[in-house]
Protein backbone atom coordinates (compact mmCIF):
# COMPACT_ATOMS: atom_id res chain seq x y z
CA UNK A 1 0.00 0.00 0.00
CA UNK A 2 1.41 3.39 -1.02
CA UNK A 3 2.29 5.73 1.83
CA UNK A 4 -0.05 8.74 1.96
CA UNK A 5 0.66 12.25 3.29
CA UNK A 6 -0.75 12.88 6.74
CA UNK A 7 -3.79 15.10 7.23
CA UNK A 8 -3.82 18.38 9.08
CA UNK A 9 -4.92 18.17 12.69
CA UNK A 10 -8.36 19.55 11.79
CA UNK A 11 -9.15 17.01 9.10
CA UNK A 12 -7.62 14.10 11.02
CA UNK A 13 -9.93 15.01 13.89
CA UNK A 14 -12.96 15.15 11.57
CA UNK A 15 -12.18 11.74 10.06
CA UNK A 16 -11.61 10.23 13.50
CA UNK A 17 -14.88 11.71 14.77
CA UNK A 18 -16.81 10.16 11.87
CA UNK A 19 -15.22 6.77 12.57
CA UNK A 20 -16.16 7.12 16.23
CA UNK A 21 -19.77 7.91 15.31
CA UNK A 22 -20.02 4.65 13.36
CA UNK A 23 -18.75 2.81 16.44
CA UNK A 24 -21.52 4.45 18.48
CA UNK A 25 -23.99 2.78 16.10
CA UNK A 26 -22.13 -0.53 16.46
CA UNK A 27 -22.51 -0.38 20.24
CA UNK A 28 -26.19 0.58 20.00
CA UNK A 29 -26.77 -2.44 17.79
CA UNK A 30 -24.98 -4.75 20.24
CA UNK A 31 -26.60 -3.47 23.39
CA UNK A 32 -30.25 -3.29 22.35
CA UNK A 33 -30.95 -7.02 21.94
CA UNK A 34 -30.42 -8.01 25.61
CA UNK A 35 -32.93 -5.33 26.62
CA UNK A 36 -35.45 -6.68 24.10
CA UNK A 37 -34.72 -10.30 25.05
CA UNK A 38 -37.60 -10.80 27.53
CA UNK A 39 -40.06 -9.75 24.80
CA UNK A 40 -38.29 -11.86 22.18
CA UNK A 41 -38.21 -14.90 24.46
CA UNK A 42 -41.91 -14.51 25.25
CA UNK A 43 -42.88 -14.30 21.58
CA UNK A 44 -40.84 -17.35 20.57
CA UNK A 45 -41.21 -19.26 23.87
CA UNK A 46 -37.42 -19.48 24.33
CA UNK A 47 -36.17 -20.87 27.68
CA UNK A 48 -33.58 -18.88 29.66
CA UNK A 49 -30.53 -20.75 28.32
CA UNK A 50 -31.67 -20.31 24.71
CA UNK A 51 -32.26 -16.61 25.23
CA UNK A 52 -28.87 -16.25 26.91
CA UNK A 53 -27.22 -17.95 23.94
CA UNK A 54 -28.94 -15.64 21.44
CA UNK A 55 -27.94 -12.59 23.49
CA UNK A 56 -24.23 -13.32 23.11
CA UNK A 57 -24.08 -15.53 20.02
CA UNK A 58 -23.18 -12.60 17.77
CA UNK A 59 -19.75 -12.64 19.37
CA UNK A 60 -19.09 -16.01 17.70
CA UNK A 61 -19.12 -14.16 14.39
CA UNK A 62 -16.75 -11.58 15.88
CA UNK A 63 -14.39 -14.35 16.89
CA UNK A 64 -14.60 -16.27 13.61
CA UNK A 65 -13.85 -13.19 11.52
CA UNK A 66 -11.16 -11.76 13.80
CA UNK A 67 -8.00 -13.42 12.47
CA UNK A 68 -9.00 -13.45 8.77
CA UNK A 69 -10.04 -9.84 9.16
CA UNK A 70 -6.64 -8.95 10.59
CA UNK A 71 -4.86 -10.42 7.57
CA UNK A 72 -7.34 -8.76 5.22
CA UNK A 73 -6.72 -5.30 6.64
CA UNK A 74 -2.99 -5.68 6.20
CA UNK A 75 -3.63 -5.90 2.44
CA UNK A 76 -6.87 -4.14 1.48
CA UNK A 77 -8.58 -0.81 2.09
CA UNK A 78 -9.53 -0.53 5.74
CA UNK A 79 -12.20 2.06 4.97
CA UNK A 80 -14.03 -0.13 2.44
CA UNK A 81 -14.00 -3.23 4.62
CA UNK A 82 -15.16 -1.24 7.65
CA UNK A 83 -18.13 0.02 5.62
CA UNK A 84 -18.85 -3.53 4.43
CA UNK A 85 -18.86 -4.72 8.02
CA UNK A 86 -21.39 -2.04 8.99
CA UNK A 87 -23.66 -3.04 6.10
CA UNK A 88 -23.50 -6.71 7.10
CA UNK A 89 -24.50 -6.25 10.74
CA UNK A 90 -27.13 -3.62 9.92
CA UNK A 91 -28.86 -5.89 7.40
CA UNK A 92 -28.75 -8.80 9.87
CA UNK A 93 -30.28 -6.60 12.57
CA UNK A 94 -33.21 -5.93 10.27
CA UNK A 95 -33.51 -9.60 9.26
CA UNK A 96 -33.70 -10.66 12.92
CA UNK A 97 -37.19 -9.16 12.99
CA UNK A 98 -38.46 -11.64 10.38
CA UNK A 99 -36.97 -14.75 12.02
CA UNK A 100 -39.10 -17.88 11.99
CA UNK A 101 -37.45 -19.47 15.01
CA UNK A 102 -34.22 -20.09 16.88
CA UNK A 103 -32.01 -21.34 14.04
CA UNK A 104 -32.46 -18.53 11.53
CA UNK A 105 -32.35 -15.93 14.32
CA UNK A 106 -29.11 -17.49 15.57
CA UNK A 107 -27.70 -17.36 12.03
CA UNK A 108 -28.51 -13.65 11.71
CA UNK A 109 -26.90 -13.01 15.08
CA UNK A 110 -23.70 -14.84 14.13
CA UNK A 111 -23.38 -13.13 10.74
CA UNK A 112 -24.00 -9.74 12.35
CA UNK A 113 -20.97 -10.50 14.52
CA UNK A 114 -18.89 -11.11 11.41
CA UNK A 115 -19.79 -7.62 10.23
CA UNK A 116 -18.95 -6.12 13.60
CA UNK A 117 -15.58 -7.88 13.56
CA UNK A 118 -14.67 -6.40 10.19
CA UNK A 119 -15.50 -2.91 11.40
CA UNK A 120 -13.81 -3.43 14.76
CA UNK A 121 -10.46 -4.63 13.42
CA UNK A 122 -10.49 -1.91 10.75
CA UNK A 123 -11.12 1.07 13.00
CA UNK A 124 -8.88 -0.11 15.84
CA UNK A 125 -6.06 -0.72 13.34
CA UNK A 126 -6.66 2.71 11.80
CA UNK A 127 -6.47 4.40 15.22
CA UNK A 128 -3.52 2.31 16.38
CA UNK A 129 -1.42 3.11 13.31
CA UNK A 130 -2.36 6.77 12.75
CA UNK A 131 -1.97 7.80 16.39
CA UNK A 132 1.03 5.61 17.15
CA UNK A 133 2.60 7.64 19.92
CA UNK A 134 -0.73 7.96 21.73
CA UNK A 135 -2.14 4.58 20.75
CA UNK A 136 -3.93 3.65 23.98
CA UNK A 137 -5.49 7.10 24.22
CA UNK A 138 -6.79 6.79 20.65
CA UNK A 139 -8.22 3.34 21.37
CA UNK A 140 -9.71 4.80 24.54
CA UNK A 141 -11.51 7.46 22.49
CA UNK A 142 -12.98 4.69 20.33
CA UNK A 143 -14.09 2.96 23.49
CA UNK A 144 -15.81 6.14 24.62
CA UNK A 145 -17.77 5.99 21.37
CA UNK A 146 -18.69 2.41 22.25
CA UNK A 147 -19.69 3.55 25.72
CA UNK A 148 -21.92 6.27 24.30
CA UNK A 149 -23.66 3.73 22.09
CA UNK A 150 -24.03 1.32 25.00
CA UNK A 151 -25.69 4.11 26.98
CA UNK A 152 -28.00 5.24 24.17
CA UNK A 153 -28.91 1.81 22.81
CA UNK A 154 -30.77 0.30 25.81
CA UNK A 155 -32.61 3.53 26.64
CA UNK A 156 -33.63 4.41 23.08
CA UNK A 157 -34.39 0.80 22.20
CA UNK A 158 -36.56 0.34 25.30
CA UNK A 159 -38.38 3.61 24.62
CA UNK A 160 -39.08 2.65 21.00
CA UNK A 161 -40.37 -0.77 22.10
CA UNK A 162 -42.64 0.66 24.79
CA UNK A 163 -43.97 3.42 22.55
CA UNK A 164 -44.69 1.09 19.64
CA UNK A 165 -45.59 -1.99 21.67
CA UNK A 166 -43.34 -4.04 19.38
CA UNK A 167 -39.70 -5.15 19.82
CA UNK A 168 -39.20 -5.11 16.03
CA UNK A 169 -39.28 -1.31 15.78
CA UNK A 170 -35.94 -0.56 17.52
CA UNK A 171 -34.24 -3.29 15.44
CA UNK A 172 -35.51 -1.72 12.22
CA UNK A 173 -34.48 1.77 13.33
CA UNK A 174 -30.98 0.73 14.40
CA UNK A 175 -30.47 -1.22 11.18
CA UNK A 176 -31.32 1.78 9.03
CA UNK A 177 -29.09 4.08 11.09
CA UNK A 178 -26.25 1.62 10.55
CA UNK A 179 -26.67 1.70 6.77
CA UNK A 180 -26.46 5.48 6.88
CA UNK A 181 -23.24 5.15 8.88
CA UNK A 182 -21.71 2.88 6.21
CA UNK A 183 -22.39 5.53 3.57
CA UNK A 184 -20.77 8.19 5.77
CA UNK A 185 -17.58 6.11 6.09
CA UNK A 186 -17.22 5.66 2.34
CA UNK A 187 -18.10 9.22 1.39
CA UNK A 188 -16.61 11.36 4.15
CA UNK A 189 -13.69 9.55 5.85
CA UNK A 190 -10.41 10.48 4.16
CA UNK A 191 -8.20 7.72 2.76
CA UNK A 192 -5.25 9.73 4.05
CA UNK A 193 -6.59 8.92 7.50
CA UNK A 194 -7.89 5.38 7.10
CA UNK A 195 -5.07 4.00 4.93
CA UNK A 196 -2.15 5.79 6.56
CA UNK A 197 1.12 3.84 6.56
CA UNK A 198 3.60 6.67 6.93
CA UNK A 199 3.53 6.23 10.72
CA UNK A 200 5.17 2.83 10.31
CA UNK A 201 8.41 4.69 9.66
CA UNK A 202 8.15 6.08 13.18
CA UNK A 203 7.76 2.60 14.64
CA UNK A 204 10.67 1.39 12.51
CA UNK A 205 12.84 4.12 14.01
CA UNK A 206 12.28 2.51 17.39
CA UNK A 207 14.41 -0.58 17.92
CA UNK A 208 12.27 -3.70 17.51
CA UNK A 209 14.88 -6.43 17.90
CA UNK A 210 13.66 -7.17 21.45
CA UNK A 211 10.14 -7.96 20.13
CA UNK A 212 9.61 -11.53 18.85
CA UNK A 213 9.44 -11.69 15.05
CA UNK A 214 6.29 -13.82 15.06
CA UNK A 215 2.62 -13.24 15.78
CA UNK A 216 2.33 -16.05 18.32
CA UNK A 217 4.83 -15.36 21.09
CA UNK A 218 4.70 -15.72 24.86
CA UNK A 219 3.10 -12.32 25.45
CA UNK A 220 0.46 -12.57 22.72
CA UNK A 221 -0.50 -16.07 23.86
CA UNK A 222 -0.86 -14.89 27.47
CA UNK A 223 -2.97 -11.92 26.36
CA UNK A 224 -5.11 -14.20 24.22
CA UNK A 225 -5.80 -16.49 27.19
CA UNK A 226 -6.52 -13.58 29.51
CA UNK A 227 -8.89 -12.11 26.93
CA UNK A 228 -10.83 -15.40 26.96
CA UNK A 229 -11.50 -14.93 30.67
CA UNK A 230 -12.41 -11.28 30.21
CA UNK A 231 -14.77 -12.13 27.35
CA UNK A 232 -16.56 -14.80 29.37
CA UNK A 233 -16.98 -12.54 32.41
CA UNK A 234 -17.99 -9.42 30.51
CA UNK A 235 -20.49 -10.89 28.08
CA UNK A 236 -22.04 -13.23 30.59
CA UNK A 237 -22.98 -10.00 32.35
CA UNK A 238 -23.93 -8.07 29.18
CA UNK A 239 -26.13 -10.83 27.80
CA UNK A 240 -28.25 -11.56 30.87
CA UNK A 241 -27.98 -8.54 33.16
CA UNK A 242 -31.34 -7.02 32.08
CA UNK A 243 -32.98 -10.44 32.47
CA UNK A 244 -31.51 -10.77 35.97
CA UNK A 245 -32.84 -7.36 36.93
CA UNK A 246 -36.31 -8.15 35.58
CA UNK A 247 -36.69 -11.68 36.97
CA UNK A 248 -34.62 -11.71 40.17
CA UNK A 249 -34.90 -8.11 41.40
CA UNK A 250 -38.24 -7.38 39.68
CA UNK A 251 -37.15 -4.11 38.10
CA UNK A 252 -39.46 -2.50 35.56
CA UNK A 253 -38.40 -2.53 31.90
CA UNK A 254 -37.46 1.15 32.12
CA UNK A 255 -35.37 0.71 35.29
CA UNK A 256 -33.64 -2.37 33.90
CA UNK A 257 -32.73 -0.48 30.72
CA UNK A 258 -31.54 2.53 32.73
CA UNK A 259 -29.31 0.38 34.95
CA UNK A 260 -27.93 -1.53 31.96
CA UNK A 261 -27.10 1.72 30.20
CA UNK A 262 -24.73 2.71 33.03
CA UNK A 263 -22.31 0.14 31.63
CA UNK A 264 -21.89 2.56 28.74
CA UNK A 265 -21.14 5.42 31.12
CA UNK A 266 -18.37 3.31 32.66
CA UNK A 267 -16.96 2.70 29.20
CA UNK A 268 -16.73 6.49 28.76
CA UNK A 269 -13.76 6.35 31.11
CA UNK A 270 -11.77 5.10 28.11
CA UNK A 271 -10.20 8.52 27.48
CA UNK A 272 -8.66 9.12 30.95
CA UNK A 273 -7.75 5.43 31.19
CA UNK A 274 -6.13 5.53 27.74
CA UNK A 275 -4.19 8.68 28.65
CA UNK A 276 -3.03 7.04 31.88
CA UNK A 277 -2.14 3.73 30.21
CA UNK A 278 0.16 5.50 27.73
CA UNK A 279 2.20 6.73 30.69
CA UNK A 280 2.24 3.94 33.30
CA UNK A 281 2.91 0.21 33.51
CA UNK A 282 0.12 -1.35 31.44
CA UNK A 283 0.61 -4.78 32.99
CA UNK A 284 -0.10 -3.40 36.48
CA UNK A 285 -3.19 -1.62 35.14
CA UNK A 286 -4.44 -4.87 33.61
CA UNK A 287 -3.98 -6.79 36.85
CA UNK A 288 -5.87 -4.10 38.76
CA UNK A 289 -8.76 -4.25 36.27
CA UNK A 290 -9.07 -8.04 36.63
CA UNK A 291 -9.44 -7.70 40.41
CA UNK A 292 -11.93 -4.86 39.99
CA UNK A 293 -14.06 -6.77 37.47
CA UNK A 294 -14.21 -9.90 39.61
CA UNK A 295 -15.24 -7.90 42.67
CA UNK A 296 -17.88 -5.85 40.88
CA UNK A 297 -19.39 -8.93 39.19
CA UNK A 298 -19.73 -10.67 42.56
CA UNK A 299 -21.42 -7.63 44.10
CA UNK A 300 -23.90 -7.21 41.23
CA UNK A 301 -25.33 -10.71 41.49
CA UNK A 302 -24.85 -11.38 45.21
CA UNK A 303 -25.08 -8.17 47.22
CA UNK A 304 -26.80 -5.21 45.56
CA UNK A 305 -30.60 -5.08 45.45
CA UNK A 306 -31.41 -1.36 45.08
CA UNK A 307 -31.63 0.54 41.81
CA UNK A 308 -28.95 3.05 42.89
CA UNK A 309 -26.50 0.30 43.86
CA UNK A 310 -27.03 -1.51 40.56
CA UNK A 311 -26.44 1.71 38.62
CA UNK A 312 -23.09 2.30 40.32
CA UNK A 313 -22.02 -1.32 39.92
CA UNK A 314 -23.00 -1.35 36.24
CA UNK A 315 -20.82 1.76 35.86
CA UNK A 316 -17.96 -0.13 37.54
CA UNK A 317 -18.51 -3.12 35.26
CA UNK A 318 -18.28 -0.91 32.18
CA UNK A 319 -15.18 0.83 33.46
CA UNK A 320 -13.31 -2.36 34.41
CA UNK A 321 -14.34 -4.55 31.48
CA UNK A 322 -14.56 -2.06 28.64
CA UNK A 323 -12.57 1.07 29.51
CA UNK A 324 -9.62 -0.77 31.04
CA UNK A 325 -9.43 -4.46 30.13
CA UNK A 326 -10.59 -4.20 26.54
CA UNK A 327 -8.71 -1.02 25.61
CA UNK A 328 -5.53 -1.81 27.55
CA UNK A 329 -5.50 -5.41 26.31
CA UNK A 330 -5.95 -4.30 22.71
CA UNK A 331 -3.07 -1.83 23.06
CA UNK A 332 -0.79 -4.38 24.72
CA UNK A 333 -1.53 -6.92 21.98
CA UNK A 334 -0.51 -4.39 19.33
CA UNK A 335 2.62 -3.48 21.30
CA UNK A 336 3.56 -7.18 21.63
CA UNK A 337 4.25 -7.58 17.91
CA UNK A 338 6.33 -5.78 15.32
CA UNK A 339 4.82 -2.98 13.23
CA UNK A 340 4.06 -5.17 10.21
CA UNK A 341 1.83 -7.44 12.31
CA UNK A 342 -0.41 -4.91 14.06
CA UNK A 343 -3.48 -5.76 11.98
CA UNK A 344 -3.07 -9.48 12.54
CA UNK A 345 -2.49 -8.93 16.26
CA UNK A 346 -5.75 -6.96 16.43
CA UNK A 347 -7.53 -9.84 14.73
CA UNK A 348 -6.07 -12.38 17.15
CA UNK A 349 -7.19 -10.33 20.13
CA UNK A 350 -10.83 -10.00 19.14
CA UNK A 351 -10.89 -13.63 17.93
CA UNK A 352 -10.05 -14.91 21.42
CA UNK A 353 -12.08 -12.30 23.29
CA UNK A 354 -15.28 -12.71 21.32
CA UNK A 355 -15.18 -16.46 20.65
CA UNK A 356 -15.26 -17.04 24.39
CA UNK A 357 -17.95 -14.40 24.75
CA UNK A 358 -20.16 -16.27 22.26
CA UNK A 359 -20.95 -19.03 24.76
CA UNK A 360 -20.88 -16.86 27.88
CA UNK A 361 -24.61 -16.18 27.94
CA UNK A 362 -25.42 -19.88 27.54
CA UNK A 363 -22.88 -20.86 30.21
CA UNK A 364 -24.17 -18.26 32.65
CA UNK A 365 -27.78 -19.27 32.12
CA UNK A 366 -26.93 -22.98 32.42
CA UNK A 367 -25.04 -22.41 35.67
CA UNK A 368 -27.98 -20.43 37.00
CA UNK A 369 -30.28 -23.37 36.25
CA UNK A 370 -27.87 -25.89 37.81
CA UNK A 371 -27.35 -23.91 41.03
CA UNK A 372 -30.79 -22.27 40.96
CA UNK A 373 -29.02 -19.10 42.03
CA UNK A 374 -27.75 -16.12 40.05
CA UNK A 375 -25.09 -15.29 42.65
CA UNK A 376 -23.43 -18.71 42.62
CA UNK A 377 -23.49 -18.80 38.82
CA UNK A 378 -21.77 -15.40 38.70
CA UNK A 379 -19.18 -16.49 41.26
CA UNK A 380 -18.23 -19.51 39.14
CA UNK A 381 -18.35 -17.96 35.65
CA UNK A 382 -17.07 -14.47 36.42
CA UNK A 383 -15.21 -13.95 39.69
CA UNK A 384 -13.70 -17.45 39.85
CA UNK A 385 -12.18 -17.73 36.40
CA UNK A 386 -10.83 -14.15 36.57
CA UNK A 387 -8.47 -15.45 39.26
CA UNK A 388 -6.95 -17.71 36.59
CA UNK A 389 -6.67 -14.76 34.23
CA UNK A 390 -4.86 -12.77 36.95
CA UNK A 391 -2.31 -15.57 37.45
CA UNK A 392 -1.69 -15.82 33.69
CA UNK A 393 -1.27 -12.06 33.32
CA UNK A 394 1.35 -12.01 36.08
CA UNK A 395 3.72 -13.83 33.68
CA UNK A 396 3.45 -11.11 31.01
CA UNK A 397 6.93 -9.78 30.09
CA UNK A 398 6.97 -5.99 29.75
CA UNK A 399 10.57 -6.04 28.42
CA UNK A 400 9.36 -7.74 25.21
CA UNK A 401 6.92 -5.12 23.97
CA UNK A 402 7.29 -2.05 21.76
CA UNK A 403 8.74 0.96 23.48
CA UNK A 404 6.67 4.12 23.38
CA UNK A 405 8.11 6.60 20.84
CA UNK A 406 10.00 9.39 22.59
CA UNK A 407 12.59 11.83 21.36
CA UNK A 408 12.89 10.47 17.83
CA UNK A 409 9.17 10.79 17.37
CA UNK A 410 8.57 14.11 19.11
CA UNK A 411 7.07 16.04 16.13
CA UNK A 412 4.61 13.28 15.28
CA UNK A 413 3.78 12.61 18.91
CA UNK A 414 2.80 16.26 19.31
CA UNK A 415 0.60 16.14 16.24
CA UNK A 416 -1.02 12.94 17.37
CA UNK A 417 -1.82 14.36 20.78
CA UNK A 418 -3.43 17.43 19.19
CA UNK A 419 -5.47 15.35 16.76
CA UNK A 420 -6.76 13.00 19.42
Most confident of 59-63, 241-245, 343-347: 241-245
Rounded mean pLDDT, 385-413? 72
- At 88, the pLDDT band (50, 70, 90 cuts) reads very high
Rounded mean pLDDT, 203-218? 75
Report the length, in residues, of the chain.
420
pLDDT reported for residue 411: 38
pLDDT reported for residue 1: 44
Break the chain into its structural domains and give their ranges: 9-419
8 A C-beta contact, residue 257 and residue 155? yes
Query: Cα–Cα distance between 355 and 352 in angstroms, integer?
Result: 5
pLDDT reported for residue 38: 84
- At 206, the pLDDT band (50, 70, 90 cuts) reads low
8 A C-beta contact, residue 53 and residue 347? no
* The CA-based dihedral angle spanning residues 271, 277, 282, 287, taken in that order and rounded to the nearest 10 degrees: -50
| Closest among 396, 70, 364 to 236, alpha carbons compared | 364
pLDDT reported for residue 418: 38
Rounded mean pLDDT, 9-30? 87
Average pLDDT over the chain, rounded to an integer: 83
pLDDT reported for residue 202: 47
pLDDT reported for residue 197: 60
pLDDT reported for residue 89: 92
For residue range 320-362, list pLDDT tens digits in order.
Answer: 988 898 888 988 998 898 877 777 888 888 888 888 877 787 8
CATH superfamily label, 9-419: MFS general substrate transporter like domains (1.20.1250.20)
Is 60 exceeded by the pLDDT of residue 39? yes
- At 416, the pLDDT band (50, 70, 90 cuts) reads very low
Amino acid sequence: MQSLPRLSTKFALISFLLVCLTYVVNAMDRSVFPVLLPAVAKEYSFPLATGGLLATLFTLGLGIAGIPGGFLFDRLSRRAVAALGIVIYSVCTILTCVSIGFYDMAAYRVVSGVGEALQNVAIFTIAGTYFLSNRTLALGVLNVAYGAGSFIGPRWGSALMIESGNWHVPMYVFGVVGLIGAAIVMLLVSRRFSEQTGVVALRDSVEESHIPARLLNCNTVLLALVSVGAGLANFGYVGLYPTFLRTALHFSAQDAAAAASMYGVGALMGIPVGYLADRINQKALHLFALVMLGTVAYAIFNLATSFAAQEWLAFGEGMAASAILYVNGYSLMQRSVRASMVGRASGLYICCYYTAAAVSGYCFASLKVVFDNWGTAALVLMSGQLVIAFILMSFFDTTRIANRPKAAAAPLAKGDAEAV
